[in-house]
Structure 1
Amino acid sequence: MRRILWPSFAALVSAALGVSAGQLVAAVVEPESAPLYAVAATAVDATPARVKEFAVRTAGTYDKPLLLIGIVVVLAVVAATIGVLAARRRWLGPAGMAAIGALALAAAVTRPTASPVDAIPALVSAAVASAALLLMLRTPPTPAQPAQRPRLLDRRAFVGGITLAVAGVAVAGAAGTSRIAGEAAARTRDRVRLPRPTRPALPLPTGLDPGFVTPNAEFYRVDTALNLPRVDINRWTLTVRGMVDRPFEISFDELLGQPMVEEYITLNCVSNEVGGPYIGTAKWLGVRLADLLRRAGVHAGADQIVARSVDGMTIGTPTATVLDSGNTPGTQHTLLCVGMNDEPLPLEHGFPARMLTPGVYGYAGSCKWITDIELSTFADYDAYWVRRGYAAQAPVKTSSRIDRPGPFARLTAGQVIVAGVAWAQGNGISAVQVQVDDNAWQPATLRPAPNLDTWVQWTYPWQAAPGTHTLRVRAIDRTGAVQTSDRAEPFPNGATGWHTVAVTVT
């Protein structure tokens, strides 16, 4: 048993040292090339859309940490197996570590934004892990010596010391990968002074309930970035190219010098289940994307805008949606945003700039960390999520949600205020109706909304009688279309159905 346990432990320690070394090197070279993050990003890209939806639905924003934990567990099992094999054939140790390094290398250099230097962290990981394993298998721990001879390091102390050393390096590697770049990006963001908008947002109507605007810290985040992109605004540029007459680049300072507009817009994710949390409203500050496109001179046949993030994500948006947005009274413009709720964009929401298209699900109109805009066609190019089965064009569907009472709430008989939100971006909400059990639908009271592209708050006073009850809600847009009762999952173009809540009244 000792002949198996020690090589397994040695391989685990060696793999941990190798990965940690690679993570630390990546903090200096390029955080996205860190071995763990590169492999995890490749796994995300290879995950079928339905599995992705299940992960978001089940784990929410914890899906990425759980993926990283899973990769670490798999790595531990593989490393332990390599150790057992190396105990019989010494050369299998470095060969196995080199194979793991090759996997990380392939993941790093095949990223959409990869450069040759992205190979360095994986190479360092493989070299450190191989050398450590050879050293540990060559000099196994020495048992305690007789009392008359000098006492060498015993097995327990050796194992404990190595474990503590690995733990320290692992913590440094995990934290160091993003800390160096992260702190620099945060300091840069803190120095940004947003310009005053040329056209400020109109004051919010009176009579709104608290929570109409979602604070930045509470705003949902759903994306594929395992390690948040950290962008140096001094080097950042936005390129507008493709099917245009006059391609151009614009720096961050030049972008801030453009006419700015400020608008309240609701943003929601296609992964949002009926009644789900992946929706929020903020006050956004940015440049009208249509103005930039007109500066470039868009060709007549360019029906798709392909936006690219610094991490390689691609988002495809109908050109007509962008050029026509804001022309309908009450609707808002597609923006290249630099501000969110009176401060620069948070790092996790796309700093230094993101695209935001009202009335379109995020995956089809809201590219974070944007750095490139290419005018193309839907026939010539499929964006990231379209290649994974999602609809190429994804207008937000009319929907509504009950926020209170919550599911399975226990209420006291008497008047209960049922409340929630509804949205039909581009068309606006004309009515919200509530149904208790199977009784007739009753009208709810609508709070005012600043425009057609934000959600609407609603309330309904319910005289609750003792017993178990089911509450349902549906919305009607300004064209007279009633929200469908047909249940559909988020994939491939957004969930549908009436939000239903069961409560008990005593």
Structure 2
Amino acid sequence: MAILVELLAIAAAVASGHLVAALVAPASSPFVAVGDAVVRLSPQPVVEFAKSAFGTADKPVLLAGIGVLLVLLGALAGLAARRRPAVGTAAVAALGLLAVAAVLTGPVPTATDLAAPVVALVVGVAVQRGLDRLARRHGGTRTGSGGSGDGVPRRTVLAGASAAVAAGTLVAGGAGLALSSSGSGIAASRVALTGRLAAATLAETAPPVPASAAFPQLGTVPFVTPNADFYRIDVALTIPAVRAEDWSLRVHGRVGRELVLTVDDLLRRPLVQRTITMTCVSNTVGGNLVSTADFVGVELAPLLLEAGVDPSADQIVSTSRDGWTAGTPTATVLEPGRGALLALGMNGEALPVEHGFPVRMVVPGLYGYVSATKWLADIELTTFAERSVYWRDRGWAERAPIKTQCRIDAPVGFSKLPAGRVQVAGVAWAQPVGITAVEVRADDGPWVRAELATEVNPNTWRMWRAELDLSPGSHTLTARATDRRGLVQTDVRVEPIPDGATGWPSTIVTVV
């Protein structure tokens, strides 16, 4: 029974904390705050292992792991509490204090953020003490049975109290989850912003993507990635929730004058539409952490020039609502024709919440960890010497231009194909310079020049296809790309850290 007491106390603490957090500050949920602390404090090898082993499922795996750990700790504390009752209370209190510490050491803690972990601490200790006293008074932690002294069987009293706590926990937890998923008006705010973007007159529209820009019939992905399929890589366990009407951005630091901008301010500026391919630095050779979208937003360079960038400011530090930071080379953003955006729209609607609603940064040609801050809250003009940022603190490179890469989409690995001419297809990218050639070969045979799809613009990927004559047997298909500078994709295989993977993608097929 002592184990059940501990588990119910921990569950009640977690559920009550999550409910309070959903009402006042979603990121302050004790369960989530501890998870965020794990992400912040994990050493680089652990972070890389999680990304490589679990990919985009790393966050659910982490939260599930925390849940399992809580169950194990509760069981151990319950066993110890059978002999020393104070151990059970101390264990629940210690977990509550851990949640308080996780919130206090977060990126931008406020007094409001303390409400959830404090409530969790109080509820957890109260439930543990109450159930423990009932268990001892009515024989739940001792041998023997009998009545409670008032005609009610002892175990009936304890079972009733435990069931009441369990029911309350389920109600509180369910309400917290429902309130969190409702987004406190975020859905309605997105709908409203989508309508405003649709009604706006764009100063620049992206040319339509021609049908000849992709080869989906051969197995390539669609040229424009649907929002639901667009890759998502970030460190946010709880997606920051802010309505468009509540959003503001501060531009400060080494500037002539500080700016504070709202969504209304951005919508009054010229809006442009650009088709851009974004790439994650964690993308391994042949990986799928690359996607393309039509973004609508405001050009960043004119806005910074309006603020008056000091010549010494070689870094733009952008901060997310959850405190995550990125450092972007100022010269890259100000480069004529680069087309960096403060994006509000994505593929015909306001940004999806998981992709940065209401405003995010998009800088073509740079890996996302230095250029693509979601849930944007702050921009500071500073220097690389003066300020470090999240991933640079963890060993990643200061500057991260996207490397020339390609991928084989079809045939998929270990396919069995009929002998004869085999269609090979895939995508290549080298933002912002563009792709001019892709070559494919079987085994160590001669390189065959692929047919390139129509180029949409140098800031997007480019599809390709080729035909190879393959005899029966096992074959290794390899591809390499050449960009507009004449640089051929290197065959030297390196892992993503510190500034992006390199190597030729390959796949093995069997011809029968």
Q: Please report the TM-score for the alignment, with normalisation by the length of structure 2.
A: 0.92
CA gap of 1:315–1:414, structure 2 versus 1, over 3 A, is same
Tell me the SS of whatever aligns to 2:444.
coil
1:77 is the counterpart of 2:95: no
1:417 is the counterpart of 2:423: yes
2:256 and 2:487 map into 1 onto residues whose CA distance is 41
The corresponding residue for 1:329 is none
Q: How far 1:162 sits from its partner (Å)?
A: 5.4
The corresponding residue for 1:40 is 35
1:117 is the counterpart of 2:128: no
The corresponding residue for 1:347 is 353
The corresponding residue for 1:165 is 167
- Counterpart amino acid of 1:478? R
The corresponding residue for 1:300 is 311
Q: How far 1:94 sits from its partner (Å)?
A: 2.6
Tell me the SS of whatever aligns to 1:266.
strand
1:324 is the counterpart of 2:335: yes
CA gap of 1:292–1:323, structure 2 versus 1, over 3 A, is same
Tell me the SS of whatever aligns to 2:244.
coil
Cα deviations by residue, 1:397-452 (Å, 9 ceiling, x for unpaired): 00000000111111122322110000111221111000101101110000011111
2:450 and 2:392 map into 1 onto residues whose CA distance is 38
Q: Is the 8 A contact 1:23 1:176 kept in 2?
A: no
1:300 and 1:306 map into 2 onto residues whose CA distance is 15
Q: How far 1:325 sits from its partner (Å)?
A: 4.7
Tell me the SS of whatever aligns to 2:425.
strand
Q: How far 1:247 sits from its partner (Å)?
A: 0.7
2:184 and 2:486 map into 1 onto residues whose CA distance is 51
1:466 and 1:152 map into 2 onto residues whose CA distance is 77
The corresponding residue for 2:98 is 103
1:144 and 1:32 map into 2 onto residues whose CA distance is 47
- Counterpart amino acid of 2:208? P
1:275 is the counterpart of 2:276: no
The corresponding residue for 1:200 is 205
The corresponding residue for 2:433 is 427
- Counterpart amino acid of 2:190? R
2:413 and 2:319 map into 1 onto residues whose CA distance is 39
Aligned-pair identity in percent equals: 45
CA gap of 1:365–1:138, structure 2 versus 1, over 3 A, is same
Q: How far 1:158 sits from its partner (Å)?
A: 4.5
Q: How far 1:388 sits from its partner (Å)?
A: 0.6
CA gap of 1:86–1:151, structure 2 versus 1, over 3 A, is closer
CA gap of 1:402–1:86, structure 2 versus 1, over 3 A, is same
1:482 is the counterpart of 2:482: no
CA gap of 1:445–1:122, structure 2 versus 1, over 3 A, is same
Q: Is the 8 A contact 2:277 2:364 kept in 1?
A: yes
Tell me the SS of whatever aligns to 1:139.
helix
1:92 and 1:157 map into 2 onto residues whose CA distance is 22
Q: Out of 386, 390, 398, which is 1:392 matched to? A: 398
2:494 and 2:360 map into 1 onto residues whose CA distance is 29
- Counterpart amino acid of 2:331? A
1:186 is the counterpart of 2:187: yes
CA gap of 1:99–1:145, structure 2 versus 1, over 3 A, is closer
Structure 1, 207-216 or 368-377: larger mean CA deviation? 207-216
Q: How far 1:150 sits from its partner (Å)?
A: 5.6
What is the CA RMSD across the aligned residues, in angstroms? Answer: 2.0
Tell me the SS of whatever aligns to 2:213.
coil
- Counterpart amino acid of 1:187? A
CA gap of 1:137–1:234, structure 2 versus 1, over 3 A, is same
Cα deviations by residue, 1:469-490 (Å, 9 ceiling, x for unpaired): 1000000111111100000101
Q: Is the 8 A contact 1:22 1:173 kept in 2?
A: no
Tell me the SS of whatever aligns to 2:212.
coil
1:170 and 1:275 map into 2 onto residues whose CA distance is 45
Q: How far 1:93 sits from its partner (Å)?
A: 2.9
Q: How far 1:85 sits from its partner (Å)?
A: 3.2
- Counterpart amino acid of 1:38? A
Q: Out of 155, 168, 175, which is 2:177 matched to? A: 175
Q: How far 1:191 sits from its partner (Å)?
A: 1.4
Q: How far 1:206 sits from its partner (Å)?
A: 4.3
The corresponding residue for 2:447 is 441
Count of residue pairs brought into register by the alignment: 494
Q: Is the 8 A contact 1:16 1:166 kept in 2?
A: no
CA gap of 1:117–1:150, structure 2 versus 1, over 3 A, is closer
CA gap of 1:480–1:445, structure 2 versus 1, over 3 A, is same
Cα deviations by residue, 1:358-395 (Å, 9 ceiling, x for unpaired): 11000000100001100000010111100110001000
1:363 and 1:126 map into 2 onto residues whose CA distance is 36
Tell me the SS of whatever aligns to 1:280.
strand
1:402 is the counterpart of 2:413: no
1:160 and 1:465 map into 2 onto residues whose CA distance is 70
Uncovered stretches (5+) of structure 2, i.e. residues with no partner: 140-144, 217-221
1:170 and 1:117 map into 2 onto residues whose CA distance is 19
1:144 and 1:214 map into 2 onto residues whose CA distance is 67
2:146 and 2:239 map into 1 onto residues whose CA distance is 49
Cα deviations by residue, 1:119-152 (Å, 9 ceiling, x for unpaired): 1111111111111111111112665769x96656
2:252 and 2:204 map into 1 onto residues whose CA distance is 27
Runs of 4+ in 1 over 4 A off after TM superposition: 141-146, 148-153, 155-160
- Counterpart amino acid of 1:116? A
Q: Is the 8 A contact 2:15 2:170 kept in 1?
A: no
1:149 and 1:49 map into 2 onto residues whose CA distance is 61
CA gap of 1:156–1:116, structure 2 versus 1, over 3 A, is closer
Q: How far 1:72 sits from its partner (Å)?
A: 1.3
Q: How far 1:223 sits from its partner (Å)?
A: 0.2
Structure 1, 421-430 or 151-160: larger mean CA deviation? 151-160
1:351 and 1:82 map into 2 onto residues whose CA distance is 42
1:488 and 1:173 map into 2 onto residues whose CA distance is 47
1:233 is the counterpart of 2:228: no
Structure 1, 436-445 or 92-101: larger mean CA deviation? 92-101
CA gap of 1:156–1:505, structure 2 versus 1, over 3 A, is farther
1:466 is the counterpart of 2:469: no
1:149 and 1:7 map into 2 onto residues whose CA distance is 24
Cα deviations by residue, 1:449-472 (Å, 9 ceiling, x for unpaired): 111110010000122321111000
2:173 and 2:447 map into 1 onto residues whose CA distance is 57
2:422 and 2:109 map into 1 onto residues whose CA distance is 56
- Counterpart amino acid of 1:190? V
Tell me the SS of whatever aligns to 1:229.
coil
- Counterpart amino acid of 1:207? S
Q: Is the 8 A contact 2:22 2:176 kept in 1?
A: no
2:105 and 2:171 map into 1 onto residues whose CA distance is 27
Structure 1, 135-144 or 115-124: larger mean CA deviation? 135-144
Cα deviations by residue, 1:51-73 (Å, 9 ceiling, x for unpaired): 22221222122110110111111
- Counterpart amino acid of 2:186? A
Q: How far 1:97 sits from its partner (Å)?
A: 1.7
The corresponding residue for 1:3 is none
Tell me the SS of whatever aligns to 2:468.
strand
- Counterpart amino acid of 1:317? T
